[in-house]
Structure 1
């Protein structure tokens, strides 16, 4: 018996269109940040400024996050045709964000330890030189933010707003700029008002900022990696479509998970007292463009 030709029914499972401009700009930001990171950390140690050192360590976490983002972009693109990935390689980018968040937690702990130590064992700070370096660091952060913001809004495509790699890097640069401002304020307070305690206190605040960013990224990327997104708005939208278009049916099983930047896959099982074509359900759900892979099963009451 000849098997039917299924080629016309087959479709690709690559839901990550990539973000070439973001990848290019992120790579540029990595190079700029790496140079400034070395300058700030070296200056912090030589000038005895904990605020400057904290800003440098924060910038190192920024460089780490951007570096992992670039690597994730490249690996996802390289393995895009690998058939071992059931729903494409987008989660490689998410895994990169999760990994950087874990390492950032370590950086935050080191920053906190050094700042507390310096609070109780202060050293003479070279305020003038440290303020110059901190100001240059702020300028670098703003430049990187401009680069990443440009990629974030590439050609106005809405789905790029769901790029976890790019969004995390962009938000981190903004947080890094805030840390630079804190360092400058701390150094100015010590230089002009004699508030030497402000420098290590700002270092502690910088550690808290890194820890908070790491926690946010862990939470965001962890939900995607664990497919824990059944509280996503699209889930309720699916229920609304079924209730409105197929009132004779009840949802017996529903699974929704993310497979790309703002794209979701869905497995939907219905129980209906009358005949409903699965294709009709898929057509009704097509109104939600973020649903890119939908599987529908319809059963009659009492059937297995």
Structure 2
């Protein structure tokens, strides 16, 4: 019997290409900001530079995840495809983002109690360039998020739109967005110090930025963690499966149900159905076929005769 493919993820080559460009831009700006922050004594600028260094690493992880997922797409060791390599990349990036948040907070608090003179003009100029680079990277990654999905059922589109999200790309996008936010905070702090002598704004904005980055990191950890742990039995598609069986013309009830994600917006399902009369797994396959997000369905029939049939 010929085995069907378990490569459910079509990949995102546009995102992969855009992420490479973002890595290059981020690495160049990272060196400029760290050097400028060190030379001109700006904690906000230095924190943004080190922050950007972790983002360069995170973007590298995102690109590596795309490559590995494509490289092992047809490797039979991966029972349900390689999409979760991308999710693992996003989860790792989120951990890095959280570490950056703690580092930013520590360094900023330290500078708050041990202030130092700042060369405002030079630091402001570098921060502005850093902001422009971050915005360009964000634009690249946002454009790369388009997968070209064309839903056959428009009424499902809004209901499931977030499930088609590229979480690996989202992690990269959040990294550059966090950089843009910290660049803005650095600019505000530097102008405050230059115009009003409020040097305390520099480390204070570093603390504010660390909180913002931390919140984003925790959100991404929760989202990617749920996928990695297959903790998505609260997904809308689960209730839709229950509804299909409940409205089936065949007298049936669900005895077992397992649903997990195998690609962006795509699910595998193991379904156990108890029936009193005659029924075959194909009957339920046909009924579930209206939900195109179910790409791998296994049905087991449990009868009163204690016999079972599965495919």
TM over 0.5: yes
Q: Which segment is superposed worse, 50-59 or 78-87?
A: 50-59
TM norm structure 1: 0.93
Q: 1:259, CA displacement in angstroms? A: 0.7
Q: 1:202, CA displacement in angstroms? A: 0.6
Match of 2:142 in 1: 149
Q: Describe the SS at the equivalent of 1:288.
A: coil
Residue from 213, 222, 225 that aligns with 2:225: 222
Residue from 162, 165, 169 that aligns with 1:162: 165
Q: Describe the SS at the equivalent of 2:39.
A: helix
**Deviations along 1:223-243, whole A, 9 cap, x unmatched?**
111111111111111111111
Paired residues of 2:192 and 2:201 also in contact (CA < 8 A): yes
Q: Is 1:241 matched up with 2:244?
A: yes
Q: 1: distance between equivalents of 2:275 and 2:164?
A: 38
Residue from 104, 112, 122 that aligns with 1:111: 104
Call closer, same or farther: CA 1:208–1:302 in 2, change over 3 Å.
Answer: farther
Q: Describe the SS at the equivalent of 1:152.
A: coil
Q: May I ask how many residue pairs the two structures share in their alignment?
A: 297
Q: Is 1:94 matched up with 2:125?
A: no
Paired residues of 1:186 and 1:198 also in contact (CA < 8 A): yes
**Deviations along 1:127-177, whole A, 9 cap, x unmatched?**
111111111011001111111111112445578942111122223322321
Q: 1: distance between equivalents of 2:103 and 2:13?
A: 35
Q: 1: distance between equivalents of 2:206 and 2:305?
A: 65
Q: 2: distance between equivalents of 1:62 and 1:205?
A: 18
Match of 1:257 in 2: 260
Q: 1:280, CA displacement in angstroms? A: 1.6
Q: Which segment is superposed worse, 76-85 or 158-167?
A: 158-167
TM norm structure 2: 0.91
Which consecutive aligned stretches of 4+ in structure 1 deviate over 3 angstroms post-superposition? Answer: 154-161
Q: 2: distance between equivalents of 1:106 and 1:272?
A: 53
Paired residues of 1:37 and 1:60 also in contact (CA < 8 A): yes
**Deviations along 1:33-85, whole A, 9 cap, x unmatched?**
01101111221122111111222222223222211000001111111121111
